[in-house]
Amino acid sequence: MKEYPQFTWPIISELPDQGIITCTSPSNIALVKYWGKRPVQLPENASISFTLDACKTTTSLTYRKLDNSSDDFDFELFFEGKSKPDFKPKIQKFFERIESYLPFLKQYTFVIETSNTFPHSSGIASSASGMSALAYCLMQLERKINPNISDAECIQKTSFLARLGSGSACRSIEGPITVWGEHKDIDGSSDAFAVAFPYKIHQNFEEYQDTILLIDKGEKQVSSTVGHNLMHDHPFARKRFEQASENITRLKEVLISGDLDAFIEVVESEALTLHAMMMTSLPYFILMKPNTLSAIHKVWEYRKKTNSKLCFTLDAGANVHLLYPDSEKDQVLEFITNELVAYCQNGQYICDKIGWGAKIL
């Protein structure tokens, strides 16, 4: 069994009585995908992602010290101003998982108020931004208790805690590109937390754009948790994990060299492979919709006609993320409004770009 940093420190100053901490944390989009995990929330392969900028969660954590520590976690949850008892079990489970790393949790009563910049049930996963924002707030409280924690330790532990809330959330703490999962070619990489891509990124990726086509805003029929679990007995699992690992090596070179044709090949292949894994699971399932495929074909046509470096990726849903260099912004947005908006539910899409991670407000 591999040992990871325990990230537990003695409580060295008085617990603060009360206060409020507010922070924002963005979503992220994987370029090499994480699909398949082992307990507890450890990835079967390394993944790499662009941290986003506009799609984010803002969370306020109000804390008040209890006179006597309680037997269970004591918290209330509000989403966009409304009490959300149905979100509580997920947070309860998160607290149970992280309690041994934040031993002061039961000594407080918390009010967690959270809101997203992207529309609710837009098909954009809010777990990455939501869990990373909450982990960030909790770590800021821990920092008040343990002011000796260094910035580096704080970032690592925040990512570590976020991972225990939702795997991909650990990649949202920093930007603009992060890697989660131990990989021989990425210095400092770990299964326990994400690290910022530790090499100089080519200027081609500066301000890289991600326009998200909201193809289908309905609830997904199969959750990521179920999808990850189906990789346990998947006939192609071993090969897939090897392929992802090779793609990390390839993408590392691409991010350094700025070779956008190679970028397109790795990223689109990863997106389609993720969905191929879903289609070849037992039970099998399809999360793409007809309009997902129509948009992909249009992107291919456009690229052929214009030599553009526009490409697509997908997460575990029907929406299409369009990735392209900042220098092509005007032309691509024109293409989207003329040819792709028709495939979006209610004509909706979100303009986002590569971003810098979580921050305190």
Using CB under 6 A as the criterion, which residues of the chain lie in contact with ligand PMV when the complex forms? Answer: 30, 33-35, 47, 125, 127, 166-168, 224, 274, 315-316
**Pair 162, 173: CB distance under 8 Å:** yes
Nearer to ligand PMV (CB atom), residue 147 or residue 283: 283
State the nearest-atom distance from the C-beta of 170 to ligand PMV, in Å. Answer: 9
**Pair 108, 19: CB distance under 8 Å:** no
State the nearest-atom distance from the C-beta of 47 to ligand PMV, in Å. Answer: 4
Distance separating alpha carbons of residues 129 and 165, to the nearest angstrom: 11
Nearer to ligand PMV (CB atom), residue 47 or residue 59: 47
Amino acid at 186: I
Nearer to ligand PMV (CB atom), residue 168 or residue 190: 168
State the nearest-atom distance from the C-beta of 348 to ligand PMV, in Å. Answer: 20
DSSP for residue 105:
G
| Phi, psi dihedral angles at 159 (to 5 degrees) | -65, -40
State the nearest-atom distance from the C-beta of 41 to ligand PMV, in Å. Answer: 8
Residues in the chain: 361
Amino acid at 303: R
User: DSSP E strands: which ranges in 125-280?
Assistant: 177-180, 194-196, 209-213
3-state secondary structure of 30: strand
State the nearest-atom distance from the C-beta of 109 to ligand PMV, in Å. Answer: 29
Nearer to ligand PMV (CB atom), residue 145 or residue 230: 230
State the nearest-atom distance from the C-beta of 322 to ligand PMV, in Å. Answer: 17
State the nearest-atom distance from the C-beta of 225 to ligand PMV, in Å. Answer: 6
Nearer to ligand PMV (CB atom), residue 27 or residue 308: 27
Instruction: For residue 77, give the nearest of 86, 68, 69 by alpha carbon.
Output: 86
Nearer to ligand PMV (CB atom), residue 124 or residue 295: 124
State the nearest-atom distance from the C-beta of 171 to ligand PMV, in Å. Answer: 7
Retrieve residue 53's tokens.
């900028």
Nearer to ligand PMV (CB atom), residue 30 or residue 267: 30
Retrieve residue 85's tokens.
């008892």
Nearer to ligand PMV (CB atom), residue 222 or residue 333: 222
Distances (CA, A) of 313 to 35, 235, 251, 263, 288: 15, 24, 14, 11, 12
State the nearest-atom distance from the C-beta of 25 to ligand PMV, in Å. Answer: 14
Cα atoms in the 13 Å half-sphere on the side-chain side of 217: 16
Residues paired with residue 238 on neighbouring β-strands, in sequence order: none
User: Tokens 């209330």 correspond to what residue?
Assistant: 76
Nearer to ligand PMV (CB atom), residue 43 or residue 325: 43
Instruction: For residue 113, give the nearest of 27, 21, 26 by alpha carbon.
Output: 21
Q: b vs e for 179-192, b when ≥16 Cβ sit within 10 Å of the residue's Cβ?
A: bbbbbeebeebbbb
